[in-house]
Structure formats: C-alpha cells, structure tokens
Structure 1
Amino acid sequence: MGLEFDRKDLKSIADYSAQIARLRESLATRIVGQEAIVTQVLAAVFSEGHCLIVGVPGLAKTLLVRSLAELFTLDFSRIQFTPDLMPSDIIGASLLEEDHAGKREFHFLRGPIFSNVILADEINRTPPKTQAALMEAMEERQVTAGGTNVPIDRPFFVLATQNPIEQEGTYPLPVSQLDRFQQSVQIDYPEAAEEFEIVQQTTSSYDPSLQPLLTKEAVVELIALTAKITVPRRILDYVSKIVRSTRPESEEAPQFVNEWISWGAGPRGIQAILSSARSLALMDGRTEINAGDVHEMAFPALRHRMVPTYHAEAEGVDCDAIVKKILTEMPDSLYKPEECERGDRPGFLQRLLGRS
C-alpha cells in the first residue's frame, strides 16, 4: 500500500527529514521538553490532519501552535472560543453592499476560517451551534455560505486546545466532531529539570525569535510525500486488528474490552493511525512505516474515539490503559512498552481524564 519512489522523491524525503530536524531544534528554543507532544502535532500537520491538544492551563498549548505557525510561511488565524461566539464569527457572513451605480448585491465577507493554520483556542467554551461551524470545514475543506460552496485554500488544519479541569460553563465536543480530529494529544506537567529551565527562561529577558523554515509550497510537497509512504500489507492488517479490537462485541474484541468500552473506534481510527504513522516515517527519513510508528500513534489516534463504560471509570481505567492492554495482548506480540517512552506515562492528566 503506497506509491513507487523515484530518485527525486528519495532525495526530497532525505532533505525534508533534515529540515524537520532543524525545525524541531528551532522550536526547542521556545518550547522546553514535550518532545513526544511536538512529534504528534507535527505528524498531524504533515498528514494534513486536525489535532486536539488537551492540557491544564500554563502548559504552552497555545504557544506551541503559535510557534509552529511562525516556522511555516502559512496564513494563521487564532479564534478564541467564548460562549457568545457565533458561527458567522468563524466562517464569515454575506453583506448587502451597494456599488457606485447604486446596484445592491450580497458579497461574502470571509471569516478567520479561511487560513491555512487555525488555532481554535479553548474550543469547548463555545456552544455546539458554533462548534458545528467547524465541522464542514474540517471534513470537506470548504464552507457553505448563501447556498454557495466556498473552498478553503490548502493546506488546511485545525489545531484546537482544551482545558480538561473546569467543566462549568463548557460544552463537551460531540462525538461526531471529536472523530474529525486525527489526534487527541494530552500534555502533562513537565519534569523537574524541564520546569526549572522554563522558569529560568520566562523570568528573564530571554525572548527567542523564530524564522520561517518551510514555505507553503514545501508543506504542500511534504503532505504529498507523506501520502506516498509505503504501508506494508502486514502492517495494514495489524492496524485493522487493533482498531477492531476496540469495538465491544466484535469477534476481535477481548473480554476486557466488552467490560470497559461501550463504543469503539470506527474506520477513521485506522486512517488516523496510518496517516500519522506515515508522517513519523517521513520525519525519520524512511519510505515505509513500521510497527513502532503504529504503536506510537495508536494512543493519540484512538483515545478520543473510545467511550469507556461506567464500570471502567469506576475502576479508574482510562482509554490509554485500554489501548496499551490491547497492544500488549495482540497475537503478533510486536508491542514492547519500553520502546514507547512517550506521553502515555501515568501522570496527572491521565489520572484526571478517562476520555479527552
């Protein structure tokens, strides 16, 4: 599953892999630690997927997105979601205008959604009617205004943030919209050494500036190259088995899934794992994904597509723990937990959340 690579493609993959390494180095001057989080967000960007970033206040969620936007020569819009935000504040509105001849016509005034990178800050602070304004744009890369379909310039991806603590006055995202996010990334508190460095930087005159490293054309080519990364048939079957194992009452589902999950991941779960795994392979300079890529991206791709039962919540079992158990018990025995030193380590956010 994949396309043939010519010499030009192989050279482009090697060159872009080196450029992405430099991009990460530049990003590290402003974002301390959080390497796994940066990897997951970049994996979404280079496969033109949408990403939901979940974390308590002060963990640089917004700063991460803004810094990434500075490293690309892409149009960037920040939308601060509030309870009084209207759909027209996002997609735009048709206004009646009069020309010099006195003729009146409706003209569509484009909203902030017409950008390449959208920062949807605190997306769960606005009512479902406004949240739904994003749905068509996220899925179809277009909006409907005045009976006309208005395409959105590519590349296009929504990077949304969400605070999981304060639930008063918030509106949980509907399942249909959660499924449109390729990944749900959970940011936990930094390690002690990282926090010390953060305090040193933010309480001094240190103010690093970022220069664009990837042009719009380069990002478009990166996305096209990512789609060509080979997916071996055995890996495709493996991912399919993983996702099907999350569905209770299915043939592949183990007994603990029937007890802990009331609703499993759909086909988009398979697509999300493969798309983001392809990005990992490209960032590493490879032309083919492997099982390690799948294991690393299974957590952010599946945790928001699974609905735990009350029994699981009562036992303190979250979706990450279920995904880990599924991977561990797969008959292929490919998963080695020690190889995945990522953000799925037990932390404050995972103890707080069973589902993002």
Structure 2
Amino acid sequence: MMGEFDAIRPYADAEVPAVLARLAADPAFLEIITHFRYPRLSGPLGKLLKPLIAHRLRSEFRGIDSVAKLQDKVEPYVDSTIERATDGVTYSGVERLQAGSAYLFLANHRDIVMDPAFVNYAVYHAGLPTPRIAIGDNLLQKPFVGDLMRLNKSFIVHRSLSNRREKLAAFQLLSAYISHSVRNDRESVWIAQAEGRAKDGDDRTDSAILKMFHMCRKDEPFAEVIRDLQLTPVSISYEYDPCDQAKARELYIRASTGSYTKSAGEDDQSIALGITGYKGRVHVSFCPPIGEPASDAKQLAQDVDQQILGSYRLFPVHYLAYAQWEQRDAALNVPQAEQLFSAEELATARREWQRRLDACPVEQRPYLILQYATPVRNQYRLKAGLEL
C-alpha cells in the first residue's frame, strides 16, 4: 500500500540495501566519486576506475541495513570534510535538547548542504538522533542526488510547481508530513527560514513558511499548533562564506539588469564549493524553543528573527566590512573591531578579508561588503531596541 507521504519522505530502513545497490550501479554517481577520490586520474582512466569503485562501494555498503548504520559509516568522512574546510566548529544551546523530544529546527540559510550538515553534526555528537531535512526539489536534478539525500533523512519540498492548485496540495502534504514527523514519529525536522539562501546576509523568516506549518491543522489555534511542534530557531554563523564571490556577482547582476538567470550546473558548483571551500570558524546557536508563540505568522516571524539575528556570532571580518560599508548607520553604537578582538586575530582577519576584496571585481565589491556588514547592523539594531 502506498503511504500518503511516499512521494516526499526519507527512505525507511527496509529500503536502504536496495537504494545502496542502485547507487553502486549508477554511472553518474560513480563518475562523481571517481572524480572526487582520484581527480588526477578520473579523466583518462575514468572508465577503467569505475568498475573498481563500484566493487569498493558494494563492499563498503555490505551489511548496512539501516539509516543509523549508514550515518555511522559516513560520519568519519563528514567530520574530516568539516575539519579540512573550517578552523573549528562551536555550538551553544545544544545541551537544551532533550533525548526523546522532537523539535522543529527553523534555521537561517546561507549554504545549501552545510547548514543542515552542521546542525546534524552538533546533534549527532551530542548523542541525539539527527533531524529529518527539508530539501528543495530544484536540487534533485540527478536521480542519485535524490537517493543520497533521502538516505540521509531528507524529505522533498516541491518548489518547482507552477500550477497554483498543485502548489497548494504540495504545501498541504508538506505541512502534514512535518506535523506527523514531530508529533507521531517523534523525529526532529530541519527547515530553512525562507526559500533560497540569504545572499545579502540579511536572515529573515518568511511568514508563509510559518503559515504552512499550520495548514494541516487549520481548525486549531495557530499558536497552539506552533507550540506543539516545539519550534526552535537555529542561528548558523560562518566566519567566511565560500560562495561569497558568486553571491556578490549575482546581487550585482540583479541590481544592474533587474534579473538573474542561473546557468546550467550552477547549483552543483555552489554545493561543491560550499562543502569544500574555506569557512574559517563556524558557530551554531540553538535558541530555546518558542514557548509562547505569537498568534499570527507575521509577529512570530519577527520573534524568530530576533532570536536568530541576536544569536548570530559576529567575527572580526563582520566588523571590518561594516566599517567599510557606505550604508552603515552612524547612530548605531557599533564598536571598532580593535575594541573587540586581539591584534593577532584582527591581523589574520584583515589579510583574509583583503584577499577576498582583491579577488572581487571592483563594481561587485559593495555587494561583498554588504553580505558581511548586514549581520552587524541587524544585531546592533536589536541591541538598540530598534525595529529590524
């Protein structure tokens, strides 16, 4: 019998062996693995390497018959990727999460893959089950990507529908699935606060997403439904964004032409760069679950924003960018970076920031500065009790 969530849900344990077998035979997946593991050999010898890699994968996958076993197997690779591309990851608030409880993590969104990966990393190392992850169908162009994501507890958000009725039905299903996951399965969920990454550094919650959580229980009070879901804002701060140049370019093109069209493979490039590119330090702040939610979505979105923006970890680069920002607000009491950080830390940040500015075409630089300066403005507006 088809379950009502089969079209979007993650794979169940019983499905894992068949999906792994399918991946080990998928030419596109084998090509990516070959390229990733043996970049210098993958061109001329790719065809010869593929059967060897397929054989290696089948032996690695042998005996893996559950999602938990697969996550345990993959975790060392995730850890080493994180260690290679960061100067350390810190967390706050993870101690508030209780075993046996399920949460709806609503997070700011800067990176396609690494935002949920860092949340997973924190939760996994705290000895708690990892959340189910909402992922847009726009990222699942290749079948193996969908398989990989759904093996890792991802569920699909249908974003590419243009028909209004289909869109509504998809949101209704998504709403019901999130509610079922948290309340019935006792499985936490991670979802971004808005569709698409915040390319200008301005992390804002889309109230339409909050309304979507309520859709499947329309006849109950909004605040009650949200409280039931244990809505927990999460603030993810990257010292450096590996995709900052690409974001500056997109913002510049949008501003100067009025629109921006992604080129083929652009999402794939963003994903690869986001995973492997240098991020400096990363901080993930788990805010307290919202115990008394507002009774309307717009107000709740503002309350969530206060938590996410207020918990954002500002690094030296943010203050350096703010000092260069033409739109900075003189009335805000923003200290100089020198007042907050040691000379050594600041010198390192200055070198890295200058390197990024030098790599950015002059006309795009204001948009690079904007990305790093905006979180400073938001946080100091909050501190001054001003409207965001």
Which structure shows the bigger proportion of residues in helix conformation?
Answer: 2
TM-score (norm 2): 0.28
TM-score (norm 1): 0.30
Which structure shows the bigger proportion of residues in strand conformation?
Answer: 1
